[in-house]
């Protein structure tokens, strides 16, 4: 064997023996790198299946079109996997329709409701509790709402089921053109009843037994005006959830005061045609007393009317200006156990109980927003003439709120006023006719979590000072 072959074999032998040593490592290091394995490609996420919800909204002509528009242009654009079937239901029909729907297993996923509906729907288990983390009620809506709407009241198991869209009240609405005609601005409208009555008398024009121009019109809203005056006098309509105060000295005096506006001061006729809002809108009244829910009506029915609001006159010129009442509200009423459907339902609820929808809704409803973050927006401050009275009256300390009373009692307040105004029944006798009926309803009802009355309000002084 030649030397060269011998060396060659020796080299091959060496490499064979050294394959797992540093020499092998050196050779491997000098070799080109092996191609990296292809990364695993995750499959594209499956598209969420579209969830179809049914939502009942109170049928209000002034609000329906806005709701349909924003649900299409805003909510469903943000949530393309959620489709909402909007159904407008007359407000008085909602409790009965809900009971029928539940019995058939066909309840809507979500429903709007009047505040008087909440107790019955809650007692029957038709409304679902708001899950933890969906909303911080005390931070977003303040102390009173946080305290009042956690039910059963005072229970360690209390939960939130529905929250208000806002707080509405009553106010004096004025026709700016007529004020200007007589050389006045809204700042000239007196704030004390004594001065206001004299001022309004000068602007009232009678033709025989008919009023041709009203300085201040309230016929058709006299019962509500008496209610406001009662609170201005320091009275209450309910002591607690078991006792009505229709026979209190303040309520009797309030009824007499409104009668005097008719008969003694001749500011209005007991049987004036139309409503206060129509007399204002048609240019026949300088000022009109109405609850602020008419603001959407004025905006839509009388688009050319230049109008604004001031707080109700009081006997001192200072608050309280009257009663305020919460405007509920949306509740989840779903019977579904499908987690995707429930998630979509609470997404819809949070949108409706959120700034984008509420900002639009309250303008048509005439209710001060419950979301505190909206209170400082220019549209919801006293600088807005149409919002002036609402913004001022609904500030803590400027109103009183007894809570939610049984819906069956509502017409009885109207009956009392009808006996007094229309039939000439003495105030004491009219009250004696209706109070036993009211008491019977209260005694048969368990409204301890809803109708707080004078005692409940005074037990929570924080509501007078804190948003």
Assess whether 280 and 427 both reside in one domain.
Answer: yes
The pLDDT score that the predictor gives to residue 43 is 55
436-455 tens-digit pLDDT? 999 999 999 999 999 999 99
The pLDDT score that the predictor gives to residue 381 is 98
Q: Which of 374, 393, 412 is the last residue of a domain?
A: 393
Three-class SS of the chain: CCHHHHHHHHHHHHHHHCCCCHHHHHHHHHCCCCCCCCCCCCCCCCCCCCEEEEEEEECCHHHHHHHHHHHHHHHHHHCCCEEEEEEEECHHHHHHHHHHHHHCCCCCCEEECCHHHHHHHHHCCCCCCCCCCCCCHHHHHCHHHHHHCEECCCCCCCEECCEEEEEEEEEEEEEHHHHHHCCCCHHHCCCEHHHHHHHHHHHCEEECCEEEEECCECCCCHHHHHHHHHHHCCCCCEEECCEECCCCHHHHHHHHHHHHHHHCCCCCCCCCCCCHHHHHHCCCECEEEEEHHHHHHHHHHCCCCCEEEECCCECCCCCCCCEEEEEEEEEECCCCCCHHHHHHHHHHHHHHCCHHHHHHHHHHHCCEECCHHHCCCHHHCCCCCCCHHHHHHCCCCCCECCECCCHHHHHHHHHHHHHHHCCCCCHHHHHHHHHHHHHHHHHCCCCCCCECHHHHHHCCHHHHCCC
Assess whether 237 and 139 both reside in one domain.
Answer: no
Q: Does residue 134 contact residue 346 with C-beta atoms inside 8 Å?
A: yes
Q: How far apart are CA 435 and CA 415, in angstroms?
A: 11
Assess whether 177 and 118 both reside in one domain.
Answer: no
Assess whether 62 and 162 both reside in one domain.
Answer: yes
CA-CA-CA-CA dihedral for 269, 272, 277, 282, to nearest 10: -110
Assess whether 287 and 253 both reside in one domain.
Answer: yes
10-residue mean pLDDT series, the chain (467 residues): 36 35 35 47 63 97 94 96 97 97 98 96 98 98 97 96 98 98 98 98 97 98 98 98 98 98 98 96 98 94 97 98 97 98 98 98 97 98 98 98 96 98 98 98 97 98 95
Residue 285 lies in a domain: yes
Assess whether 111 and 73 both reside in one domain.
Answer: yes
Residue 1 lies in a domain: no
Domain that holds residue 106: 51-167+327-393
Assess whether 136 and 159 both reside in one domain.
Answer: yes
Assess whether 273 and 421 both reside in one domain.
Answer: yes
Q: Which of 362, 377, 393 is the last residue of a domain?
A: 393
The pLDDT score that the predictor gives to residue 29 is 36
Residue 417 lies in a domain: yes
**CATH code of the domain in which 334 resides:** 3.40.190.10
The pLDDT score that the predictor gives to residue 467 is 86
Assess whether 87 and 183 both reside in one domain.
Answer: no
396-410 tens-digit pLDDT? 999 999 999 999 999
Assess whether 241 and 309 both reside in one domain.
Answer: yes
Residue 90 lies in a domain: yes
Can you name the residues that pair with 327 across neighbouring β-strands? 166
Residue 229 lies in a domain: yes
The phi-psi region of residue 55 (left if phi > 0; otherwise alpha if psi is between -120 and 50; otherwise beta) is beta
Residue 35 lies in a domain: no
Q: Does residue 254 contact residue 226 with C-beta atoms inside 8 Å?
A: yes
Residue 14 lies in a domain: no
Report which of 340, 326, 334, 461 is spatially closest to residue 401, judged by C-alpha positions: 326
Assess whether 160 and 189 both reside in one domain.
Answer: no
Bond into 371 cis (ω within 30):
no
Q: Does residue 283 contact residue 151 with C-beta atoms inside 8 Å?
A: no
The pLDDT score that the predictor gives to residue 42 is 54
Residue 178 lies in a domain: yes
Q: Which of 393, 417, 438 is the last residue of a domain?
A: 393
The pLDDT score that the predictor gives to residue 201 is 98
The number of domains in the chain is 2
Assess whether 389 and 251 both reside in one domain.
Answer: no
Q: Does residue 151 contact residue 161 with C-beta atoms inside 8 Å?
A: yes
The pLDDT score that the predictor gives to residue 62 is 86
- Structure token pair of residue 195: 């001065």
Crossing angle of the two packed helices 222-232 and 249-263, in degrees rounded to 10: 130
């Amino acid at each position: 064997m030649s030397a060269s072959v011998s060396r060659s074999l020796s080299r091959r032998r060496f490499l064979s023996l050294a394959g797992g040593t540093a020499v092998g490592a050196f050779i491997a290091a000098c070799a080109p790198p092996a191609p990296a394995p292809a990364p695993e490609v995750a499959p594209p996420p499956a598209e969420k299946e579209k969830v179809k919800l049914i939502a009942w909204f109170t049928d209000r002509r002034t609000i329906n079109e806005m709701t349909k528009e924003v649900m299409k242009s805003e909510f469903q654009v943000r949530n393309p996997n959620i489709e909402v079937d909007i159904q407008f239901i007359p407000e008085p029909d909602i409790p009965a329709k809900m009971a029928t729907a539940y019995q058939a297993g066909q309840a809507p996923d979500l429903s709007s409701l009047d505040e008087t509906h909440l107790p019955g729907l809650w007692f029957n288990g038709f409304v679902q509790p708001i899950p933890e983390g969906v909303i911080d009620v005390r931070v977003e809506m303040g102390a009173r709402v946080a305290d009042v709407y956690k039910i059963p009241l005072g229970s360690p198991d209390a939960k939130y089921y529905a929250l208000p869209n806002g707080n509405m009240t009553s106010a004096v609405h004025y026709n700016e053109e007529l004020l200007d005609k007589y050389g006045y601005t809204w700042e000239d409208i007196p704030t004390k009843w004594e001065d206001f009555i004299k001022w309004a008398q000068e602007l009232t024009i009678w033709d025989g037994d008919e009023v041709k121009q009203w300085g201040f019109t309230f016929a058709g809203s006299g019962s509500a005006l008496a209610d406001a005056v009662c609170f201005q006098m320091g009275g209450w309509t309910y002591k607690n959830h078991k006792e009505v105060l229709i026979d209190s000295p303040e309520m009797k005096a309030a009824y007499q005061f409104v009668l005097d506006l008719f008969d003694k001061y001749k500011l209005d006729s007991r049987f004036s045609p139309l409503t206060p809002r129509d007399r204002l809108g048609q240019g026949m009244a300088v000022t009109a007393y109405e609850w602020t829910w008419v603001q959407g009506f004025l905006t839509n029915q009388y688009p050319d009317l230049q109008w604004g609001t001031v707080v109700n006159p009081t006997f001192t010129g200072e608050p309280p200006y009257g009663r305020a009442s919460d405007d509920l509200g949306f509740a989840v009423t779903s019977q579904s156990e499908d987690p995707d459907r429930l998630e979509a339902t609470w997404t819809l609820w949070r949108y409706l109980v959120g700034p984008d929808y509420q900002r639009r809704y309250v303008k048509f409803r005439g209710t001060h927003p419950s979301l505190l973050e909206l209170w400082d927006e220019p549209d919801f401050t006293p600088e807005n003439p149409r919002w002036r009275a609402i913004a001022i009256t609904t500030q803590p300390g400027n109103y009183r709120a007894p809570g939610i009373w049984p819906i069956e009692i509502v017409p009885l307040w109207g009956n009392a006023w009808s006996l007094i105004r229309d039939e000439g029944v003495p105030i004491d006798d009219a009250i004696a006719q209706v109070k036993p009926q009211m008491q019977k309803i209260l005694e048969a009802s368990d409204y301890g979590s809803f109708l707080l009355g004078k005692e409940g309000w005074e037990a929570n002084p924080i509501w007078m000072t804190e948003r």
